[in-house]
Amino acid sequence: MKKILSLLLVSSFAYGASQKEWVPKYQKKSLNTQKTEKGLSSKSDLKSVSTVSLNSEDFPENKLEALYMKEPKSKGFLKILKQESLKLKQDAVPTLIKVMKSSKYPAENRWIATYMLGRIMGVKSAPFIAEFSKHPNWMLRLASLKVLLHLNQSQYKGIYARLLEDKSLIVRHQALQNIKEMKIKTLAPYVWKMLYNKANYVGGKGLRKRSNIIKEAIKVVGELEFKEARKPMLKMISRSKFKDVHSELDYALNLVSDKDSPKGSIEVKKLYWRKEMVKGLTI
């Protein structure tokens, strides 16, 4: 009987030693945190600590930011972004700026954030938005130009002139549109310079063709009344080498000349401009 009692007593101690005191989940988390702070002393400690560490910046601070973090899968979603931003008005500004400055948000959403910042803050946002004209992402450079145009910010001439030579064709085209629509005549020489930029041509050496941006640039030169370009344009319209832009040249020459070319075919107009060129020659 004594042997049986002694065996039961020993087994009860052994069972008690093998059991761990129950600890609530929140206490377990704090204990794990303490381990990471004090240092890990064994392999078992390594297993008890999660290998994934999340930065607080990975979590949205508000509902609007949560929306901007989502991948846009439709135009309808982008419309929702605009609507939700407008609802908050000035309160949306910190979130919009945060989205614009961070690459962790989808590029399309950053575009919308730029646009909405300009719409909510108006001309006050122009200096900040102008800084994005130097952004490495072409979409942000384009957004910057579009918002500056929307705000009618004609004073940023240096930006528009520089972006006429941007590596992105769509950005160059938008810079041209800004100059055209805001009628910045002082930038006419920079627009004319686009005709000599190889990036505005397609094809290899000897086979290069003028892209549509060249046609647009010629027309803008006329609209800006850049009279210094009249003589070179008269030479160009008289040569078959430039036959693909003869119509645009006629349009521009009409705007920088005292008289318009006669109505009729392009051949009739070319003949008229040849005569005008001869008149300007001196012996």
Domain spans of the chain, in order of start:
63-151
What's the full length of the chain, in residues?
283
Per-residue pLDDT averaged across 188-202, rounded?
95
Q: Are 109 and 81 contacting, i.e. CB atoms less than 8 angstroms apart?
A: yes
- What confidence tens digit (pLDDT) does each residue in 104-150 have? 999 999 999 999 999 999 999 999 999 999 999 999 999 999 999 99
DSSP of 219-265:
HHHHHTT-GGGHHHHHHHHTSGGGGGGHHHHHHHHHHHSSSPPPSS-
Mind giving me the DSSP string for 132-153?
A: GGG-SSHHHHHHHHHHHHHTT-
pLDDT at 199 over 90: yes
Specify which residues 201 forms β-bridges with. Answer: 210
Which stretch of 2-11, 41-50, 59-68, 231-240 has the lowest confidence by average pLDDT? 41-50
DSSP 67: H
- Range with the poorest average pLDDT among 50-64, 160-174, 191-205, 213-227: 50-64
User: What is the pLDDT, as a whole number, of residue 7?
Assistant: 39
Structure tokens at 234: 């008269």
Q: How far is CA 258 from the centre of its chain?
A: 42
Average the pLDDT over 43-55 and give the result: 37
Determine the average pLDDT of the residues in 184-193.
Answer: 98
Per-residue pLDDT reduced to its tens digit, 212-261:
999 999 999 999 999 999 999 999 999 999 999 999 999 999 999 999 99
What is the pLDDT at residue 59? 78
Tell me the CA distances in angstroms from 223 to 46, 105, 182, 243, 257, one per residue in order.
72, 40, 11, 21, 12
Assess whether pLDDT exceeds 90 at residue 47: no
pLDDT of the residue at 26 = 37
> Residue 56's pLDDT band (boundaries 50, 70, 90)?
low
